[in-house]
Structure 1
């Protein structure tokens, strides 16, 4: 589970910015939506929303997290040895020639880790991993250039051999995973459990994800021979229930999904309520396909834990459907493994009570705003200490928290 993400000098994120998923202890600490992990004192949030004007840098925050994941997953395996790195520094100042920093604080199997790195356009300058024991950070490894130091926790592994195989433009964590490092491969897997959905303005397709849907809605004979059948069936049924609930909330006429002869079939509402009409994936609308494109990673993280990041949530989902998505993450019954959702949006319905009880806690709301130099600033609603009865949606639209377009300037330019 993600505790916090820190980034500096990536695209419009010129200065150090931090996104925290730690719950504010002054806001209903007994809230059942919060994620609690034995041995970790602070409760975590199952979801956070990023609001802000167009081009304010919301996407860059999510993109920075995705960039960090890609460096971890691909630097040793796919990058050219002499190809440098794909660094994207802030381009509008001297920062364009400086290094970029990325760091995550996270929980894995109940243990807290802090991992990060610094890179420039040519190579990895620094890399570090700290593991927390009894509340104190202990060095697992530290790297500066081609110099590595290892803590006692990694003493039994072939660290020096792997370090010698780590290229200048590759992460040690990436190289360790490629060489089956027993202790570091699970951390590499944590990054692999992340999903990112970026709105590209095009209709998404799901051929690469159909396999997961087939597994969820497939026959019992497809279960692993080594799994606990009853437990696996219970997980499957929760997944099926979640996707049915999502599709029914979308009101797109789909009542159920099944697998038949390795093909996904969707049951549509017919004029005769007693009649079942099953249609293939190829017959579904673009909106249905877009919904399924999100549903697949959604079900994956809900089933096993993980992080789902969605850019422009409202681009694919109706407000009521976005609300249902939030409810799935906020409901421990559907989210038993502490999966988390980070998303950008302009949908102010999620800030108020138009759709019933406010779907977001106040510590789940973050804003981005650009200054006159083009640098993005990321900050939480809680910085403003809003009163308990304050209408957050109205306050946001009135500019009380910043992060909205400067309409006056736009109108002046149009005169």
Structure 2
């Protein structure tokens, strides 16, 4: 599970910004529903929401997590390949400095601290620390591009690590246990929806279980998405077919008739009522999940993640950018309340413009704001950072206080200037006519 994520000199974040899922000190509200108790000294939030104006830096937090995941799991292929590098460009000093990512998380009863910094051409620093109790131990360290400390019996990993590849990747490829744990967390436990996330991340043969199918069907019906149930097909994939989407767009019959197939992939389908021209139900129709709306796919992904956690006792960290996309605000609120329920054992991180979510069952330590200053620098801060007298009043909702600007991060929109900018400009038409005459 994710404890915290820190980044600096990345996109609009010139200075260090930290997103923490540790519970706020001395907060007791909804601790049974909204938090997961790890030990006597550590409790983690099940849900965290980031609010802010357009262009404030909300999406950059999600992008940063995704980029760190990609750098860990998808290494460069040769020494000439450049790393994806997006430093803060609005400062002549920072644009030439490395980007740095740091993360703390739990995996297999270990607490890991992993960090690295890099430029377009090389990894500058890298460090992995582990703790089974309260004290951290350094497992390996890299400074100024050089690996100074490495695990025992891993000299070959050290020698085979290029300057534009993380040492962690080399170690996990050489079966170093702690590196495998870290790699597996990034690959399988950190799920960024809309990019790397797919339904088989959570399926894991769950759909073979009749109880799971029943639970999922009941959830979808309760969500009022007009779906009777869910089913799947294991479709053979031909050797020559490298794009699963092309196979998926073929009919089921055609997909099953491939004779040169060597492997298969599971695809999920939703079950709907089918009607005749008079409006009578004549049967059911199965529709590929990929053809469903964004909101329906999001609801299905969330349901599968929660059910998967119940059956396998695992804990994933799911990240959603623009969470409200495709969701009615009542459904969005219902899902946030579900995140913060005893049934859920996962973590859900989301960015949103939907102010109604400020009035759902969120604690102050679960609410973050992103704000950008006049220099184009983003800042990330928690509502928990405000004094208790600013957030404790029960007679005014958080959304109303946010709109009034009490917590910052509110867009300043000049409506009069917007309207003025779109007025018909007669001189533009005259200028266009002059240009045509000059051409003739």
Please indicate the TM-score interval, normalised by the length of the shorter structure: 0.7 to 0.9
- Residue 270 of structure 1: CA displacement? 7.3
- Residue 165 of structure 1: CA displacement? 0.9
Deviation string for 1:32-60 (max 9, x for gaps)? 12444544612110110010001111000
Mapped to 2, the partners of 1:330 and 1:293 lie a distance apart of 17
Q: Does 1:392 align with 2:398?
A: yes
Mapped to 2, the partners of 1:166 and 1:284 lie a distance apart of 39
Mapped to 2, the partners of 1:5 and 1:342 lie a distance apart of 12
Mapped to 1, the partners of 2:157 and 2:372 lie a distance apart of 42
Mapped to 1, the partners of 2:136 and 2:227 lie a distance apart of 50
Distance 1:382 1:280, change over 3 A: same
Distance 1:146 1:38, change over 3 A: same
Secondary structure in 2 matching 1:407: coil
Number of equivalent positions: 376
1:359 aligns with one of 337, 358, 361: 361
Partner residue in 1 for 2:272: 268
Q: Kindly report structure 1 stretches of 4+ aligned residues shifted beyond 6 Å.
A: 260-263
- Residue 249 of structure 1: CA displacement? 4.2
5+ residue gaps, structure 1, are: 221-232, 353-357
Secondary structure in 2 matching 1:184: helix
Q: Does 1:215 align with 2:212?
A: no
For residues 1-400 of structure 1, the aligned pairs below 5 Å read 1-28=1-28, 31-39=31-39, 41-75=41-75, 78-94=76-92, 95-150=94-149, 154-155=151-152, 158-193=153-188, 194-198=190-194, 209=199, 213=203, 215-218=205-208, 237=212, 241=215, 243-259=216-232, 264-268=268-272, 277-282=283-288, 286-287=292-293, 290-292=295-297, 295-296=300-301, 299-300=304-305, 302-303=308-309, 304-333=314-343, 335=344, 338-352=345-359, 358-385=360-387, 386-389=391-394, 390-400=396-406
Secondary structure in 1 matching 2:357: helix
Is the Cα–Cα contact under 8 Å of residues 270 and 289 in structure 2 kept in the other structure?
no
Secondary structure in 1 matching 2:199: helix
Mapped to 2, the partners of 1:261 and 1:370 lie a distance apart of 48
Larger radius of gyration: 2
Larger deviation, residues 251-260 vs 113-122: 251-260
Distance 1:185 1:260, change over 3 A: closer
- Residue 361 of structure 1: CA displacement? 1.5
Mapped to 2, the partners of 1:240 and 1:17 lie a distance apart of 43
Distance 1:342 1:173, change over 3 A: same
Partner residue in 1 for 2:248: none
Secondary structure in 1 matching 2:27: coil
Is the Cα–Cα contact under 8 Å of residues 129 and 140 in structure 2 kept in the other structure?
yes
- Residue 20 of structure 1: CA displacement? 0.5
Distance 1:313 1:211, change over 3 A: closer
- Residue 345 of structure 1: CA displacement? 0.5
2:413 aligns with one of 379, 382, 407: 407
Mapped to 2, the partners of 1:260 and 1:73 lie a distance apart of 29
Secondary structure in 1 matching 2:374: coil
Is the Cα–Cα contact under 8 Å of residues 198 and 312 in structure 1 kept in the other structure?
no
5+ residue gaps, structure 2, are: 236-266, 421-440
TM-score (norm 1): 0.81
- Residue 210 of structure 1: CA displacement? 6.3
